[in-house]
Amino acid sequence: MFIHLSQLCGYLIPVLGWIVPIAIWFLKKDLSPKIDAHGTIVLNWILSELIYGMIFFLLSFILIGWPLLILLAGLSFVYPLIGAAKASQGDIWKYPGSLNIIKLQAQTAE
């Protein structure tokens, strides 16, 4: 649950929202397959967020990227809250639109 919520640290100090969840995942992933799964999901979202952000930034020069950047900022706030709520119920929730860059282990993807 804290892996998801730690992304919101980025609203206090910008890059912290990426560093803290990755650090938590790196330090705790061997304790439980579920922690590893949640960390993988969050890491995939962070990487997706960076890729989408770069693309939308480039599109902002032709004005189409601004609404997409606003949407991405909203999703970057809402998705961690939903992910944390699902994690507190014991569920693993993949963020919609997240690129599957790092694969989940088969036993935790259920």
Any domain includes 101: no
- What distance in Å separates the CA atoms of residue 65 and residue 106, rounded to the nearest whole number? 36
- Within a domain: residue 25? yes
For 7, the domain range is 2-88
Amino acid of residue 51: I
Question: If you search the block for the tokens 């997706």, which residue do you land on?
Answer: 48
Q: What are phi and psi of 98, to 5 degrees?
A: -75, 135
Averaged confidence pLDDT in the chain? 89
Half-sphere exposure (CA, 13 Å, Cβ side) for 98? 22
Q: Is the pLDDT score of 108 beyond 70?
A: no
CB 51 within 8 A of CB 98: no
Give domain status of residue 49, yes or no: yes
Give a yes or no: residue 72 inside a domain: yes
Scan for tokens 């990487």, then name that residue: 47
Residue 5 has pLDDT above 90, yes or no: no
Q: Report how many domains make up the chain.
A: 1
Q: What is the rounded average pLDDT of the residues 5-9? A: 87
